[in-house]
Amino acid sequence: MSGWLSWPLLGLLAWIALSIPVTLYLGLVLRASSRVENAPRVAAPSQAVAPAPIFAGSPSSRRARSLDQPRILIVDDEAGLRMLLRTTLTADEFEVAEAEDAQRASDLARFWRPRVVVLDVAMPGIDGLAFCSELKQKPAFHSPSVVLLTGTDLREEDAVRAGADALLRKPFSPLELVGVIDRLTGTEAADVKTDLAAGPNEQLLLYARDLGRLLEIERMQRRVVQDAYRDTVTALANALEAKDTGTGMHSLRVRDYAVQLTAAVEPALLGDPSLEYGFLLHDVGKIGMPNEVLAKPGPLSADEYALMQQHTRIGVEILRDVTFLRGEGLNVIRSHHERWDGTGYPEHLSEHTIPLSARIFAVADAVDAMTGDRPYRDPATWEAASREVAVQSGSQFDPEVVEAFLRENLALRRIYDVTGKAA
């Protein structure tokens, strides 16, 4: 690629490469804001270089985060609570194992070496306090962090004496537990209130409430990522159009035409989020075309035309691994130059073998090409372009799409009046 636009385009692509991880990082920040830690700090037992224990309601210390998944061992004689804890922690990307009593947990802790043990206090056989002391004192266990769970009036002093790093009282919020574990494993978390009136099934109510909160956060993250993709795609499309035609309005205008026409032909297609991105990036493969071919002020030679036809394949190669383009978006990029009569490119598809989204977009793209400025000809009027679309029904275009275009002509003309004449 040559010309003065090469450097701006390379800079834009570098910005795009940086924008995606930044967006994902913002999503992680939103996720962290839902996590909790709620407990007064209690003085640690006198040990060299030992971190202060974390109790429900206190701020905590931070440790260096391991690059691998932290291993969490759940020890509780209640199968239902173990299942809830496992579901919570595996969803948060921890590696989880469980045991129903201290004896089984002892074997696991010795050989599996968990980083954190979530331990119920009231268990048959060896209770949680005694097992916590063993975990902390015996070298074979490698002194994991211990979070004690209790439904009794256990004193924090007793938990400290046993070596516990945190104490949570039942019922506890699952996000509260995740927040405590994050701190013990070195991940920062923010405070979230977990007040809930006492009553039956408090633990299940807390889980149900926090599930709703997590779903809300997930939807927020998805919107952040989608908005970033849309802004990035629009910027790239505008830069490509400036390289090709000297205006950045074509991709936005033809997107609007295609959305209006899709709603008239097959509204269900609009449910595919990749479709709009395909409309915007339909000519992304032209990034691989020489400037002298794109800006040539006359008809292309046979060799130049053959080269230009490769832009659909190049576009698919560039974008095939982009998640937000998989689906109808890639169909548009690949097949928007196919013709109803089979004489198009790149695969010479015909009639209904051409994806419907590409057949719809072919009409929108052709109308904008005819009514837009080009180096080699003056723009046609809207009426002349509409007549040409009707003439090409059954040869270049799908007759059903042409019928929809003629039905929606006034609505499409309004889009042209707002954006086309100003371009």
For 93, 148, 279, the CA distances from 373, given in Å and listed in that order, are: 53, 72, 20
The catalytically annotated residue of 193, 286, 296, 421 is 286
Give the separation between CA 377 and CA 387, rounded to whole angstroms.
18
> Of 174, 49, 68, nearest to 115 (Cα)?
68
The encoded tokens of residue 111 equal 């050989």
Please check whether residue 276 is in contact with residue 231, taking contact to mean a CB–CB distance below 8 angstroms.
no
The encoded tokens of residue 272 equal 């595919």
For 12, 28, 231, 292, the CA distances from 18, given in Å and listed in that order, are: 10, 16, 13, 30
Give the separation between CA 298 and CA 249, rounded to whole angstroms.
22
Give the separation between CA 165 and CA 63, rounded to whole angstroms.
13
Q: Where are the alpha helices (DSSP H) in 113-248?
A: 128-137, 156-162, 174-184, 202-244
Amino acid at 309: Q
Query: Is residue 286 annotated as part of the catalytic site, yes or no?
Result: yes
Query: What three-state secondary structure class fits 268?
Result: helix
DSSP state of 170: S
Cα-trace Rg, the chain: 31
Instruction: Find the helix or strand (DSSP H, E) in which 167 lies.
Output: strand 166-169
To the nearest 10°, the Cα dihedral for 276, 282, 288, 291?
-110
**393 has which bridge partners?**
397
Specify the pairing of strand 95-99 against strand 71-75: parallel
Give the separation between CA 344 and CA 309, rounded to whole angstroms.
10
Give the separation between CA 351 and CA 100, rounded to whole angstroms.
64
> Of 249, 251, 278, 254, nearest to 356 (Cα)?
278
121 Ramachandran zone, left/alpha/beta (phi>0; psi -120 to 50): alpha
Give the separation between CA 159 and CA 334, rounded to whole angstroms.
64
Write out the catalytic residue numbers. 286
